[in-house]
Structure 1
């Protein structure tokens, strides 16, 4: 069974959302939304007569993808290149696929590192819960120097 698209229902190109509404909808800051737009990453953003950005559902789909790629560590220039390839059409599918496969590998490595960090924090949390309950002594922290070492050379 095919997974549902995270972009389902995001094909309407009618401008209807302000920067603030987009930020709230997607869980981003208004600064991030403006930054992506100023960087030329969001195709087809409209503006009102008063120069206010107005976003469509279609723009939201682009923003989700752009933000996802950025959060995996893909540099802005590479995101821009990816978007240009998308707009170019199907001839760029092999190169786009390669980029996505590479970023998936990067993200899997990040997940491994986060899992290791979470394991350490879980251990420390349990340790502190035991200490707070009055069980045991604090023996799992790196030793702290009791006094500063002398940095004055001996005469």
Structure 2
């Protein structure tokens, strides 16, 4: 059994987040000790791991609650849960693609600055130094 502090440390989450998730009803196996303090068993820990991953994927608290409720209904909801996960996967794939594009841009900029610092090319990244001819649509500038 884990206390809020112990489970938070174990799962690298804040105590506040753990309390919030339990208050929202996302951990159906939550138990309380004789003083009313939250205590977590392995099953509760598993729920929190799932919630952490769903939340980390961008899923809303409401959507996670709906998902948890479906899980509690059992095998008859497997197809519906699958659809929820596939939809979230599509959203993640879109975000991943966007992040890869941003990463490539930052990688390009870092290499550009290395070339400038190594005096391989002049600094063309500073809009304050652009001349009127630089602003003609020959080549797009990159801030």
| TM > 0.5 | yes
Q: Provide the rounded CA distance (Å) in 2 between the counterparts of 1:113 and 1:54.
A: 40
Can you give the 5+ residue segments of structure 2 that lack an aligned partner in the other structure? Answer: 131-143
Q: Deviations over 1:114-140 (max 9, x none)?
A: 111111111122223334445443313
Match among 105, 113, 116 for residue 128 of structure 1? 113
Can you give the 5+ residue segments of structure 1 that lack an aligned partner in the other structure? Answer: 1-15, 147-155
Bigger relative CO (Cα 8 Å, ≥ 6 apart): 1
Q: Deviations over 1:77-124 (max 9, x none)?
A: 111111011011111111111101111111111110111111111112
Q: Provide the rounded CA distance (Å) in 2 between the counterparts of 1:144 and 1:95.
A: 56
Once structures 1 and 2 are overlaid, which stretch shifts more, 60-69 or 98-107? 60-69
- Name the residue aligned to 1:117: 102
What is the number of residues matched between the two proteins?
A: 130
Q: Is 1:49 aligned with 2:31? A: no
- Give the alignment's TM-score, normalised by structure 2: 0.80
Q: Provide the rounded CA distance (Å) in 1 between the counterparts of 2:49 and 2:90.
A: 19
**Pairwise CA RMSD:** 2.1
**If each structure's helix is expressed as a fraction of its own residues, which one has the higher value?**
2
- Name the residue aligned to 1:68: 53
Summarize the Cα distance change of 1:139–1:53 in structure 2 as closer, same or farther, 3 Å threshold. Answer: same
- Name the residue aligned to 2:75: 90
